[in-house]
Amino acid sequence: MRFGSHRPLFFHLLFLLLISTVAAHAATLRGTVLDPKGVNVPDARVRLLNPRGTEVAHTVTDDRGRFHFEGLATGRYMVEVSLSGFETTSSKARSGQTVRVVLPLAPIHENVIVTATRTAATTGEVGSSVSVITRKQIVNRDTPFVSDLLQSLPGITVVRNGAPGGVTSVFAQGGDSDYNKVLLDGIPLNEPGGSFDFSTLTTNNIQRVEVVRGSESALFGSDAMSSVIQLFTRQGNPETKRPHFSMSGEGGKNSTWDGHGSVTGGDGPFDYSLAGGRFSTDNQSPNDFFHVTSLSGNFGLKAGRATTLRLILMGEFGLAGTPGQTAFGPPVLDASFRRRDGYGAFSIHNQTTSSWDQQLTFTYSRSRQVSLDLGQGAPFTPSYEGHVAAYPYLDYASNYLNDEWRDHASYQINWEGAPLGGRFGQHVDTFAFDWDGEHAFLVDRFAQDPATSARRNNFGYTFQDQTMWGRFSLGNGVRIDDNGSFGTVVVPRSSLAYLLRNGGGFWGATRLKFNFGLGVKEPSFLESYANSPYFVGNPNLAPERARTLDYGVEQRFWQGRARLELDGFDNVFRDQIAFETTNFVTYSGTYFNIGRARAKGVEATIELAPLSSLRLSGNYTYLDSEVIDSGNPYSPALADGQWLLRRPRHSGSLRIDWNWRRMNVTSTTVFMGRRVDSDFLGLQPPLLWNNGYTNSDLAWSYRSAYHLDYYGVIENLFNQKYMEILGYPALKLTYRAGIRVEF
């Protein structure tokens, strides 16, 4: 037999032998990076070192904290994992192994968020201005309301009509109070048109709060003009079969009572969290009572290895007396505000492959509000410190019903990978489809005007690419919104974070950030479809629009015990909707896109952890705002060239947390500078400015040896006299104390 005739077969066998030999020596190494609580850590930098300490390869973890190396020679390696806000950790490994690396938290650490990108990312990997309020901070503050937590964040202004229960509004980076998209576990809470009153939103069963400032309409559609505020409810731990119970009760000044109970746990594939609470107070003025009951449930079920089902239910039921502007006259004794809010969501999450995951979500939210005034008050002439109204105030009877609800469906699919061998980084691509069916029924049941009944359907299509490429984290997204009121618009967003320096020693990581976005907000049902002869809806309204720009630098220092962040913002708001009188005989009118404003400024945040038991955090916001084209030029407070209403030029806060053995003390001080405001009662000369104020709270807790916590809080510690809104005096010094038992 001649060799030449079998040469092709010989070389084929030799090729297979070589391939099998290479394959036998080419191995993989996989792993997962977790934080101390077992939460997956995305975007961590992973270096693979040989026994001599030379880098063999590097990568970053995906959105579930996973990493892998391929084509390795058989042998021993060292896996080094680092991420700003965590301590760098090394772990020994062999080729072919799957390793689990736990990153210890640095004294000033990062948080994993989803609001800024609709997928998991650390706060240091996004270019947006982001704040996170943790469960520990919520417990230490001992505040019943989410709005009190938001008040201490940079770039955020919270104003309330007097005492708890009054209408509570939030302004972010100069935007209007209806420019915030508010979500609960992905459930939209806003009324159609963006409005949301925070007065009854409690901290009951809330695990954490994420606040992303700037326009995020490219991710969340209408209403996300100047911020997205997302709350997440607590989930049970399926690894702990024994239920965890918590009960608390407290009482204090002004006949204030607050009680809560919860149970969390799980068993195998099932986890659950149930909570309920009631807050009740008489406040300090006649007819200024407030009661709110909250119920919450979060249930999860793992259906196999790849699919998770989750059901979320929540209700808030409030009743408040509305005495009016008691600083200008006697309280109204026959007026009240009743509110019933209900939310629900059902989601299916499927990890289709190691690179693909998808989620389908259905939600329902409804807010039914009744403002009742029997009209029995005697006429009076408002006055305040020499300012007197030109005409008496008449107490008109009204029974106004605002019933609005929303059906929402969302489908999101994420793909992650490193195309072209990772030469252009690791990518996470997201496609999402959203549908909103919005409904409203508005009527004054004491008046003869016809009711306003309307509905509309909105569709949104979102695409986003996130790229982790070396020191760069880049996110680009675009959304097509097809709105039932104003038609189709396209809104883009671009975000960049660059790790300029990843050093050790005193000076740690330095990161640059940039974020640009366009925002849109649909008209409210009243603005589009009002059916009153005195204010007529305009169905041809265009959306209100925003252009926001954020840029900044974050510097860590003092061996991870300190962090300084400086962020600038430059925002423009246009096509703002305002009412304009068209008939000065009947004083009837309609709504037009006639307003324009700008807001720019700086946010400065510093965090210090000099001791393991002591943490200090402070922030300062400078806001330069201006009304460019007024929607109400007849009001001096809203005229062209004026500051934006109720948004101060200077504001800030300081929080100190001290833990000593079983004792915790938290001090929170909020500073609010002078701001433009109005009495809206025609006082002469008009009141145009509201003085600044400083408010301090002090909360404490002590854990005994018998699963008991004794705790208390003093609010307005120095008994300051001030008004967040002209005419509505804030509470004087108040206090509460109680006991919490957990087992």
Give the pTM: 0.90
Q: What is the pLDDT of residue 4?
A: 44
What's the pLDDT score for residue 10? 41
Q: What pLDDT score does 11 carry?
A: 41
CA atoms within 13 A on the CB side of 29: 28
What is the per-residue pLDDT for 663?
96
The tens digit of pLDDT for each residue in 421-461 reads: 777 888 999 999 999 999 999 999 998 888 999 999 999 99
Q: Is the dihedral of CA 466, 467, 468, 473 positive or negative?
A: negative
CB 727 within 8 A of CB 679: yes
How far, in Å, are 21, 23, 72 from residue 15 at the CA level? 10, 12, 20
Domains of the chain: 4-102 (2.60.40.10), 231-742 (2.40.170.20)
Q: Give the per-residue pLDDT at 17.
A: 37
From the list 211, 214, 208, the residue with the least C-alpha distance to 226 is 214
Interatomic CA distance for residues 634 and 584, integer angstroms: 14
354: left (phi over 0), alpha (psi -120 to 50) or beta: alpha
pLDDT of residue 376: 92
Tell me the pLDDT tens digit for each residue of 250-287: 999 999 999 999 999 999 899 999 999 999 999 999 99
What is the DSSP pairing of strand 270-281 with strand 256-267?
antiparallel
Provide the pLDDT for residue 26.
62
Show the low-confidence residues of the chain (pLDDT under 50).
1-25
- For residues 194 and 317, is the Cβ–Cβ distance under 8 A? no
Residue 560: its pLDDT value, please?
86
The answer to whether 133 and 213 have CB atoms below 8 angstroms apart is: no
φ, ψ dihedrals at 23, nearest 5°: -65, -35
Q: What is the largest CA-CA distance in the chain?
A: 122
pLDDT of residue 705: 80
